[in-house]
Structure 1
Amino acid sequence: MIKFILKRLGISLLVLLGGSLLMFVLTINSGDPLEDYRESNDRNKEQIIAAITRNLRLDDAWYERYWEWLRGVSGCVVGKCDLGTNINGNDVTVLLGNAAGSTLRLVFIATILAIFIGIAVGIVTAIRQYSGFDYVVTFLTFLFFSLPVFWAAVLLKEYGAIRYNDWIADPQISPLQAIIAALVLAFVLQSVLGGDWRRRLITGGVTAVFVFAALTYFTSVGWWRAPALGIGIVAVVAIATAVGLTALVAGLNNRRVLYSTLTTVAVGIVSYYAVSPLLEAPTIVVLLVLLVVAIAVGLVSGYFWGGYSSRRTAMSLSAITAVVMGLLILVDRAVYAWAEFLNLKPRPISTIGSSTPNFRGEYWESILDNATQLLLPTILLTLISVASYSRYTRSSMLETMNQDYVRTARSKGLSERVVIVKHAFRNALIPITTIVAFDFAALIGGAVITESVFGWKGMGELFRTGLTAVDPAPVMAFFLVTALAAIVMNMLADIAYAFLDPRIRR
């Protein structure tokens, strides 16, 4: 395996070298960086042209400029990166650090959400093949996949920002709107859960009544402007997570695993009050320590409850439950700050920029500001990726579920949960892993348009301004990050193959 990885790294570096040379040559030959300045009537025209010529080293041959850039990049191996200067004489390494932080934050969150949502939807549609739910999801995924990014971004800005900001000033949901929302969610849930007509009717009816009552109650108490979760909702969601994970992976008949995850939730409920003072204005170190403690609690609970046969499963599920519980506590704390955030920023969803200039909120208000700035571009990139993940997951699951070993597992009397989770899904993950590797790098490239529409100061703007000005340094910095992301993700995919299919290790 190590020999295979080293071979792949060597090939990837050669591809990276050839791609960088091609990108550099194409960029410097895409136009004349001095064209606008030669036609200028500015009295300092000659000084400006001389400065740009010096910054871009236009008097040197192209191979000398490329070699100088390559030397600077090679210094990154020892932590001394020198990516050159842009047309204005600014250090590109500093510009890349700021731009990459914004873009990678956006792309990483969108990728994680797309993986979980897309795979879950793909599995359900494979199980409910040719059902009404399958047809609806198929239509929506093809719609999202074919949507022009710029057009979808404009729609999100109109309905997700402008009209939402108008609504949140005096949030009201009429009974008719509540009925429509309840019926839509009831239809979706009964389609996902399936069953005979009686089970579908009960599921849809309960869902419709619950959603209608919740929307009516939230509107009457003004919850939309002053929301609160509280320990009750946190506990209910955490318990549902614990029971759902246990039912999906181990089965509810495995009492040891169920008790382990529920014990983790109980400890989390107690710690809800204990960690409250630490969450007033936590640092990254504090949050990391709390994360480690939460995982440790889950592992200890699984170790003692799991017994000899189920210890590993109990420990892993309890650790996941602990992380979910911790995230719920953080979300609860952020929700409490929403009312004050609206006082500081009456129109919370911005359409331009990655942060609000001169925002004067406290810790949690600043977190909400960054989150609302991330919201729309993240939704856009997630919808596009979900379409791919759900389709590939569906086709891979359908192919796997028709294999002989799956039929053999069913003939042995194994439950459908075991057949799908432990036999079909694991083998179906291999082609999906490949898509994840390519999609991450593709999202960075696709973020160019998204960032342009939403006015993000990220790598998209760095690439676009560099290409417009025929400035190779910013363009090459964008290429370097994108290419390295593709290489790293493909390497992780190769390693994941070995874990998913032991035959690949040989």
Structure 2
Amino acid sequence: MIMFILRRLLSTVLVLIVVTFVLYLLLNVALDFFWDLRSSTSPNVEALFEARRRLLDLDTPAVVRYFKWLAGASGCLIGQCDLGIAWKSGQEVTFLLQGAIINTIKLITASTVVAIILGIAVGIISAIRQYSGFDYFITFVSFLLYSLPVFWVAVLLKQYGAIEINNFINDPTLTSWWPIIIACLAMGLFWMGALGGGKKRRIITFVTATLVTFGTIYYILASGWLQQPRIGVVGVIIIGAGAAVVMTFLSTGLKNKRVLYATLTCAVIGALLYMPLQYLFYYQEMNWLWMFGLLIVALAVATGVGLAFRGPDPWDTVRTTCFTTLIIAVTIFADRVLQGWREYSSHPAINNRPIATIGASAPNINGDFWITNLDSFTHLLLPSIALILISFASYTRYTRGSMLEVMGQDYIRTARAKGLNERTVIMRHALRNALLPLASIIPVDIITMIGGAVITETIFGWNGMGKLFIDSMNRSELDPIMAYILITGILAIVANLVADFLYAVLDPRIRVNA
């Protein structure tokens, strides 16, 4: 194993050096370092050309300058990074990278997690309902989303996801109920196709989903929820109980009463702790360290509850209670963030138009931890949706194809022949093996996306790695471009190594031979 890792690292380092060397020479030829001086009418333009040449050390051969840059980049191994200077702004590249990497990680974390969860869930249902109307609909939507140009989706989101929504928030009056009725009927058809069953069950599902959707929309419009969104203790109770039932059903089945009682106990504990947590949030200044600590405590309590109820497999119970508790914890956190909505929306910098169309944060917002996170959320919303739509389509197709292949295997037929119910066959036997191809795809997608969603970041003015790369290209700043290439190259190497080892861990048939 050690020899395998060393060989991989050595070969990839050599490849990375060759790639950066070739790209450095090509960029040195392609970039115009005097683009802003060529149209200058200054009487000392020749002196400006000479000063620029000395600033960028252009009299030195490009090969020598590359090795100078490589020596500075190698200093990162001992904590002394020198990736050069962005000559247009005069800032060090390491300083520019800090903010760009943080912003990109925020963006891809939000979008990738949601895309993976939704893509896998819809892909599994589509495979189970193969050749049904639901399957054809999801296939059509997936190919449609996958083929849509990102820049076009981003422009539509700006118009209808921000401008029109902000207008509606300020004046929530409907000129016609027909769009609401059509949306409710569409949700009814979606859940009818997803849950399937006999004719009677499908009708009940359709009617229930339609009425629940209509009731939810009517409550949002009639209660003024758009002006002051809030989950509240009632919402926490409902979401907690729903999470307990759904997680139990997916993990062990509702017939396992011990697991069901354990998850419901976690939901009750979450509801009881709602008010004490509100007092803690009010009197104690919060930060992410506090949030992480509270999450660890919550998961520890969930583990204790799971081990107390035990069941046939105690660790199955613990896993289910931890997932349930995680959902409840996120719900309580989101509720506290939304409590600052009115204060945030009425801020002069927001001017009652909270859904942002550009940038990673609003200027002159100096609120507390909750207001800052609310500001980040409103700016993350649109670019995250743009990335989710594209990633969702690919994950859905991967999951559906892998699931269909696994469902035809002999061990699946054997599991059914032994009398296992369909939920156990799918969740315990088929799903784990169907996710193996995704284990080699998702790490690569996540880590390489840190290189930046160039188009999305540019359109939404998101100061991440992608926008840094485009801006540096436009300004002919060689050092930031090379830093971008170096970081994305290293991350691609890490992603492939993670994918190889993750695949080997998940599939015992695969062994890494040294």
Does 2:275 align with 1:273?
yes
Amino acid at match of 2:321: S
| Alpha-carbon distance, 1:118 to partner | 0.8
1:388 alignment partner, one of 381, 394, 412 = 394
| Alpha-carbon distance, 1:495 to partner | 2.2
Q: Which residue of 1 aligns with 2:490?
A: 484
Amino acid at match of 1:302: G
Q: Which residue of 1 aligns with 2:197?
A: 195
After the TM superposition, which of the residue ranges 460-469 and 88-97 deviates more from structure 2? Answer: 460-469
| Alpha-carbon distance, 1:438 to partner | 2.9
Question: What secondary structure sits across from 1:465 in the alignment?
Answer: helix
| Alpha-carbon distance, 1:106 to partner | 0.7
Does 2:369 align with 1:366?
no
After the TM superposition, which of the residue ranges 444-453 and 148-157 deviates more from structure 2? Answer: 444-453
Change (3 A) 1:6 1:427: farther
The answer as to whether partners of 1:264 and 1:322 remain within 8 angstroms in 2 is yes
CA distance in 2, matches of 1:108, 1:43: 51
| Alpha-carbon distance, 1:226 to partner | 1.6
Does 2:476 align with 1:470?
yes
After the TM superposition, which of the residue ranges 155-164 and 6-15 deviates more from structure 2? Answer: 6-15
| Alpha-carbon distance, 1:44 to partner | 4.8
CA distance in 2, matches of 1:379, 1:446: 15
Change (3 A) 1:4 1:408: farther
After the TM superposition, which of the residue ranges 172-181 and 496-505 deviates more from structure 2? Answer: 172-181
Aligned residues: 505
| Alpha-carbon distance, 1:19 to partner | 2.1
1:312 alignment partner, one of 294, 311, 315 = 315
Q: Which residue of 2 aligns with 1:208?
A: 210
Q: Which residue of 2 aligns with 1:110?
A: 111
Change (3 A) 1:380 1:334: same
1:229 alignment partner, one of 228, 231, 256 = 231
Q: Which runs of 5+ in 2 are unaligned?
A: none
Does 2:381 align with 1:379?
no
After the TM superposition, which of the residue ranges 78-87 and 371-380 deviates more from structure 2? Answer: 78-87
The answer as to whether partners of 2:307 and 2:318 remain within 8 angstroms in 1 is yes
Amino acid at match of 1:364: W
2:346 alignment partner, one of 301, 322, 343 = 343
The answer as to whether partners of 2:360 and 2:463 remain within 8 angstroms in 1 is yes
Q: Which residue of 1 aligns with 2:303?
A: 299
Question: Following superposition of structure 1 onto structure 2, how do residues 163-202 of structure 1 map, counting pairs within 5 Å?
Answer: 163-173=164-174, 174-202=176-204
The answer as to whether partners of 2:262 and 2:305 remain within 8 angstroms in 1 is yes
Q: Which residue of 2 aligns with 1:323?
A: 326
Q: Which residue of 1 aligns with 2:289?
A: 285
Q: Which residue of 2 aligns with 1:78?
A: 78
Identical-residue share of aligned pairs (%): 45
Q: Which residue of 2 aligns with 1:66?
A: 66
Question: What secondary structure sits across from 1:34 in the alignment?
Answer: coil
CA distance in 2, matches of 1:424, 1:248: 13
The answer as to whether partners of 1:265 and 1:322 remain within 8 angstroms in 2 is yes
CA distance in 1, matches of 2:408, 2:185: 35
The answer as to whether partners of 1:28 and 1:470 remain within 8 angstroms in 2 is no
Q: Which residue of 2 aligns with 1:356?
A: 362
| Alpha-carbon distance, 1:7 to partner | 3.1
Change (3 A) 1:201 1:41: same
Amino acid at match of 2:304: V
| Alpha-carbon distance, 1:114 to partner | 1.2
Residues 273-309 of structure 1: CA deviation (Å, up to 9, x unaligned):
22212323411221111011011011111111114x3
After the TM superposition, which of the residue ranges 49-58 and 135-144 deviates more from structure 2? Answer: 49-58
CA distance in 1, matches of 2:258, 2:21: 59
Amino acid at match of 1:322: T
Change (3 A) 1:363 1:53: same
After the TM superposition, which of the residue ranges 445-454 and 357-366 deviates more from structure 2? Answer: 357-366
Q: Which runs of 5+ in 1 are unaligned?
A: none
The answer as to whether partners of 2:448 and 2:491 remain within 8 angstroms in 1 is no
| Alpha-carbon distance, 1:444 to partner | 4.2
Question: Following superposition of structure 1 onto structure 2, how do residues 135-154 of structure 1 map, counting pairs within 5 Å?
Answer: 135-154=136-155
CA distance in 2, matches of 1:81, 1:209: 60
Question: What secondary structure sits across from 2:362 in the alignment?
Answer: coil
| Alpha-carbon distance, 1:446 to partner | 6.0
Question: What secondary structure sits across from 2:382 in the alignment?
Answer: helix
| Alpha-carbon distance, 1:2 to partner | 4.2
| Alpha-carbon distance, 1:176 to partner | 3.0
Question: Following superposition of structure 1 onto structure 2, how do residues 8-23 of structure 1 map, counting pairs within 5 Å?
Answer: 8-23=8-23
The answer as to whether partners of 2:119 and 2:392 remain within 8 angstroms in 1 is yes
CA distance in 2, matches of 1:313, 1:205: 35
| Alpha-carbon distance, 1:9 to partner | 2.6
The answer as to whether partners of 1:27 and 1:471 remain within 8 angstroms in 2 is no
Q: Which residue of 1 aligns with 2:467?
A: 461
Q: Which residue of 1 aligns with 2:421?
A: 415
Does 2:410 align with 1:404?
yes
The answer as to whether partners of 1:440 and 1:485 remain within 8 angstroms in 2 is no
Q: TM-score, normalised by structure 1?
A: 0.95
CA distance in 2, matches of 1:262, 1:480: 49
| Alpha-carbon distance, 1:260 to partner | 1.8
CA distance in 1, matches of 2:278, 2:149: 45
